[in-house]
Structure 1
């Protein structure tokens, strides 16, 4: 599966700055407000935590949280011979959707859902397939299609998009082109259109270009109407966009990261963070409100983890979610991360839809 090409570009200067901060300390930010505590700021937000292992001792890796307490993900057997795709309920009960030999297979990936439908990618000997099944009850897991093209994934909630009874995804094509592919959720023929350039899906029906470009995004395109929107760009700045917000990451005069957000037309621009920050997830301003950030913290040199923060665009406040977070992920309104070390850790979740 392709890896995320954009976030490393965004975080390059940040990583250098973070290393310097560990040695010399971050520059003083005069007048910068301190992050607010999560519990006091969002007391009604739904939160949860689950151990990294099932009761039988097998390792569990969530790929999607349906809410703060219910997730779907991959289980590897203790002998590493099988992989299972399960839905783990709030009470700890498990529903198995698939069980396959681990040999020649990658873990279930790119999970997405709508209503009672779960869709995921299985790779057999490096060849991806799309599967679907019911989150609760019928229908049973079934192969949707093997006609997927050279699927392009960017660790985004939009790698697979369910809309209008169809599943949509992007694939690379010859001649520096991107294929936009779709199939009915009931199965059938895959429809393919293509555009020059390297594109990724965003909130439907939009796509954004610049996935492998050093400067990031330059254009949003509506795949239904053909409308295009040029997005803000500047020298020494990497841009990433959704249809509602664009994120611009640059280096300040001290060599530290500065993260700004504006609407795609350039309006409502504001500074979100400055210092040893980086973007923590691929998606920009999720739910059109929350910018998810990571920052080198006091424990980073020992744990390798970072502070996890959220900037609320509605209130213009920054909230400290966790002082020591690793493996940060987001899909469909729920943010999750791990705390602890490799031998003993838990995964924590926060449903941003409940704020």
Structure 2
């Protein structure tokens, strides 16, 4: 799901409509009395940042799917002749190292990129079938298929769609009826284990899972897959809830008819208002690194460009930071936030390593 689609899902899921990717709500400016956000360079002068052109030196298009740091990314690159799509590592100097390539007839063949240590794991989609693949990031291990027994994988555009933990890869898939399958396989390959739970679940920070993935009201329960512990999370009428093990995001409509975003711990403690107005969340994951809530605001300029004002609320000091006044295609994985600036004909992807703040 794109950043724009997730913004729409958050705002429209408040009882107005529940379909992701629908039209946005426009209207009031930021609520009066709210402090102006700090500039990125003022708030975090030492944060590592980078930029990635949308085209390679050979003219092929490049689309990152994961950043290892602010300047090193892994993504899909088109070959100069347009016949193949390559999964490559692109370093800060523009150098490329190919991990895997497939015929260009397969649209978006590489997804769910996840790294841990020297291991990269991804889902490869070819001829309508999905497979789980891995490779060594330092070139020590070539790309190889781990398993094709992946089930009906569920992707929520979350950094936890695939999780590497305890020497295994974990993911969620649709089961029969109203069931979720929690699947896992050793990184070395072998038999896939399957555990079934009633309801619509997705993985969170391991070993936690969160329910309500297809519910208009969002989450109601966190569950520890290792111990079986279940934790009810805050819920209220006309509120959409999403949670990590550390924080829950509660989105509602205020008395003026605009979005109100709050955060609280799963037990309901430390609840605070984050922002109000023409605002929404643009990534699936809540309070990333247990500290940063990624947000977007619709402005008058947004109505002309289709882009959004990209903001981050810092839970450590309750300050809001302006990341970009005109951002699009916002994504986040494993500590790095990236977004596009420009238009469809000419744009640059910008990155911010939140681990360096």
Q: Classify the TM-score, shorter chain.
A: over 0.9
Counterpart for residue 200 of structure 1: 202
Counterpart for residue 45 of structure 1: 47
Q: How many residues align?
A: 350
Task: For residue 106 of structure 1, give the secondary structure of its aligned residue in structure 2.
Answer: coil
Counterpart for residue 122 of structure 1: 124
Task: For residue 20 of structure 1, give the secondary structure of its aligned residue in structure 2.
Answer: coil
- Offset at residue 134 of structure 1 (A): 1.1
- Tell me if structure 2 keeps the 8 A contact 1:252–1:258: yes
Counterpart for residue 162 of structure 2: 160
Task: For residue 26 of structure 2, give the secondary structure of its aligned residue in structure 1.
Answer: helix
- Offset at residue 77 of structure 1 (A): 3.1
Distance 2:30 2:109 in 1: 44
- Tell me if structure 2 keeps the 8 A contact 1:4–1:155: no
Task: For residue 150 of structure 2, give the secondary structure of its aligned residue in structure 1.
Answer: coil
- Offset at residue 180 of structure 1 (A): 0.6
Q: 221, 224, 241: which is aligned to 1:222?
A: 224
- Offset at residue 123 of structure 1 (A): 0.5
What pairs up with 1:274-285 in 2 under 5 angstroms? 274-285=276-287
Counterpart for residue 11 of structure 1: 11
Distance 1:348 1:328 in 2: 10
In structure 2, relative to structure 1, the CA distance for the partners of 1:58 and 1:17 (3 Å cut) is closer
In structure 2, relative to structure 1, the CA distance for the partners of 1:19 and 1:264 (3 Å cut) is closer
In structure 2, relative to structure 1, the CA distance for the partners of 1:294 and 1:27 (3 Å cut) is closer
In structure 2, relative to structure 1, the CA distance for the partners of 1:19 and 1:181 (3 Å cut) is closer
TM-score, L = length of structure 2: 0.94
Listed as ranges, the gaps of 5+ residues in structure 2 are: none
In structure 2, relative to structure 1, the CA distance for the partners of 1:79 and 1:109 (3 Å cut) is same
- Offset at residue 27 of structure 1 (A): 4.7
- Offset at residue 79 of structure 1 (A): 4.8
Deviations for 1:75-100, whole angstroms, at most 9, x for unmatched residues?
Answer: 12355421100000111110000111
In structure 2, relative to structure 1, the CA distance for the partners of 1:5 and 1:293 (3 Å cut) is closer
Q: 15, 21, 26: which is aligned to 1:20?
A: 26
Q: 263, 268, 271: which is aligned to 2:270?
A: 268
Listed as ranges, the gaps of 5+ residues in structure 1 are: none
Distance 2:4 2:211 in 1: 14
- Offset at residue 192 of structure 1 (A): 0.8
TM-score, L = length of structure 1: 0.95
Counterpart for residue 316 of structure 2: 314
- Tell me if structure 2 keeps the 8 A contact 1:5–1:212: no
- Tell me if structure 2 keeps the 8 A contact 1:5–1:154: no
- Tell me if structure 1 keeps the 8 A contact 2:11–2:25: no
What pairs up with 1:1-355 in 2 under 5 angstroms? 8-12=8-12, 19-21=25-27, 26-27=28-29, 29-355=31-357
Task: For residue 310 of structure 1, give the secondary structure of its aligned residue in structure 2.
Answer: strand
Task: For residue 294 of structure 1, give the secondary structure of its aligned residue in structure 2.
Answer: strand
In structure 2, relative to structure 1, the CA distance for the partners of 1:145 and 1:16 (3 Å cut) is closer
Deviations for 1:203-222, whole angstroms, at most 9, x for unmatched residues?
Answer: 00000000000100000000
In structure 2, relative to structure 1, the CA distance for the partners of 1:186 and 1:36 (3 Å cut) is same
- Tell me if structure 2 keeps the 8 A contact 1:106–1:124: no
- Offset at residue 50 of structure 1 (A): 1.0
Q: CA RMSD in A?
A: 2.0
